[in-house]
Amino acid sequence: MNHTDTYSTYFYPEKEERLNVLSHGFAFLCSIVCFIFLVIKGINNGSPIYIFSLAVFGIAQMLTFITSTMYHKSKDPIKRNKYRMLDMFAIYTMIAGSYTPYALVLLQGTKGWILFSMIWSIALFGIIWKLFTVGKYNLISTFLYVGMGGICVFYMQDLFQLLSYEGLLWLVIGCASYLIGVFFYLMDKRIEYNHFIWHLFVMGGSFSHFISIFFYVLPS
């Protein structure tokens, strides 16, 4: 069964689509640079769990931006639908990937591994759910994205204790950027350039979390 068959192919206006490609294409290049810095810092700290956590975060960011870029760049309906599905999968891995350094580097121990296991289990469920409901229940998927992001509320006390004010501030800025972006994402076709604006907020959220992780979660 070709699960992409149930998608109705949608093309954004040419000018907006060009901006969609340029924005996340640029973000993909930036994410490569960030990934290199993250891995180098992880290696310098000498901990395999640090390297693993940072690599997961960096790869998740790269996957998000490259799948988004390829989706918006593709003109062939069949390929476009496949990239669209991968793009939606990548949102789950991006959220889980963003949690990973906070869980395994900051929280550590049993509590950290529980968070890591829980968030990646939800991401896996979301990907499987999307695979078998492709083209349907998109609003449910969006709420699942937001719900995954909201899990951090249950760890706020730990974050206040373990993370500096600056690190927490960048974390909150990133979360707020994603949440505001969701509003524009849901306004598809009702606000001009809404999807491009969504892209900008995703980039802002990703960059904010990079700063929080690179400068404040990791030991100097």
pLDDT digits (tens, 9 = 90+) for 149-205: 889 889 999 999 999 999 999 999 999 999 999 899 888 777 889 999 999 999 999
Measured CA to CA in angstroms, residue 97 lies from 63, 82, 209 at distances of 11, 22, 11
Give the pLDDT band of residue 7 (cuts 50, 70, 90): low
DSSP-derived letter for residue 177 is H
**CATH match for 11-217 among 1.10.3470, 1.25.40, 1.20.1070, 3.40.210:** 1.20.1070
Tokens 């306004």, residue located? 187
Cα-based distances in Å from 195 to 76, 200, 201: 20, 9, 10
Alpha-carbon span 146 to 36, nearest angstrom: 29
Write the pLDDT tens digit of every residue in 118-150.
999 999 999 998 888 876 777 788 888 888 988
Enter the pTM of the model.
Answer: 0.90
Residue-level pLDDT at 36? 97
What are the extents of the domains in the chain?
11-217
